[in-house]
Amino acid sequence: MTKRNIIVIGTSAGGVEALSELSKHLPEKLDASVFVVLHIGDESLLAEILNHSGKLPAVTATHNKRYKRGCIYVAPPQHHLSIKNGVTVLSRGPRENGHRPAVDVLFRSAAREHRSKVIGVVLSGRRDDGAAGLYFIKARGGVAIVQDPHEALAPNMPRSALEMVDIDFCLPVRQIADVLVQLVNGKAANITEPRNEGTNMDGEQAPVHPTSEPAGDQIPVGCPDCNGPLYEVKHGELALFECFVGHRFSPENLSEQHAEALERALWTAIRKLKERMVLHERLVDRKRRKGEEELLKRLEESVTTAKKDLELLREILDRI
């Protein structure tokens, strides 16, 4: 049976607790390299936390450094983590689903590089990050594991993966640790065959040439991150959205990011309306000159209309 020695883990909200529990039950001499992406801000103490949680050493990944077995490599803030040619690769590439580091970047790189030797694990988190990456891991013959959504502090990430991917194991974190050890030692069974083995992952890198375009159909929606053209790219049953410079979105994340962009636009409109009200009220209140009666009447009407429009925009904001 295949010994699988590349473990990639993705998590978000509730992830520190899940990772700490997982690390606590992994053996010190685990014959595998472990890579972790946790959606974080500008600072992270995750490596230090994991070192205190378990016996397996954890470090913050560095660029172009060879990785070894028996170690956990944590993605640093504001950098994507991927693996290629036996080294960890850090980049400040386009955000995916609004995140950098992004779970799917790590998962795709592992699937390309190590195929059936990869174990992908999705733990607690919101939205559907990691599901697409787990899909690619499974397409290359790897193993897909998710935390039991009933145990996860934020169940959306594992639940979305369960809906999209043929998951091999859905377990509490404590049992995931046991299964990882079995898979690394080549002793685990009940691995499902991938339905999407023909998925084409060529060209998975973000476009670097200014004239390159994603291999999909352009849709009449702008990228929420850069307002550039957006394309629907299909990989078998999986559909993703990618812009000209490489920002990527799952359907759920695109919808939420677009709603956030719409909210920003509406707040801008509200600000402009308030500025218009203030300006016209000041013009009305200034000393009136002969022959300005018609202008003052229009200004007063404008203020009244702007107040009604503001109420309407606030109602729309409450609905999105």
Question: Active site residue: 82, 109, 128, 129, which one?
Answer: 129
Q: In terms of Cα–Cα distance, which of 195, 171, 179 is closest to 7?
A: 179
3-state secondary structure of 105: helix
- The residue behind tokens 């000041």 is 282
Backbone phi and psi for residue 238, each to the nearest 5 degrees, phi listed first? -95, 130
| 3-state DSSP helix/strand/coil % of the chain, to nearest 5 | 40, 20, 40
One-letter identity of residue 181: V
Q: Would you give the DSSP letter of residue 99?
A: B
Contact predicate 51/24, CB 8 Å: no
Q: In terms of Cα–Cα distance, which of 136, 246, 126, 258 is closest to 197?
A: 136
Question: Active site residue: 25, 39, 79, 247, which one?
Answer: 39
Burial class of residue 266 in the structure, from the number of CB atoms within 10 Å of its CB (0-12 exposed, 13-18 middle, 19+ buried): middle
Is residue 129 among the annotated active site residues? yes
- The residue behind tokens 């992994």 is 26
Is residue 39 among the annotated active site residues? yes
Question: Active site residue: 12, 82, 109, 250, which one?
Answer: 12
- The residue behind tokens 């404590």 is 174
Query: How far apart are the C-alpha atoms of 219 and 241, rounded to whole Å?
Result: 9
203 to 197, 208, 252, 317: CA distances (angstroms): 17, 11, 23, 39
The secondary structure of 230-286, three-state, reads: EEEEEECCEEEEEECCCCEECHHHHHHHHHHHHHHHHHHHHHHHHHHHHHHHHHHHC
Catalytic residue numbers?
A: 12, 39, 129
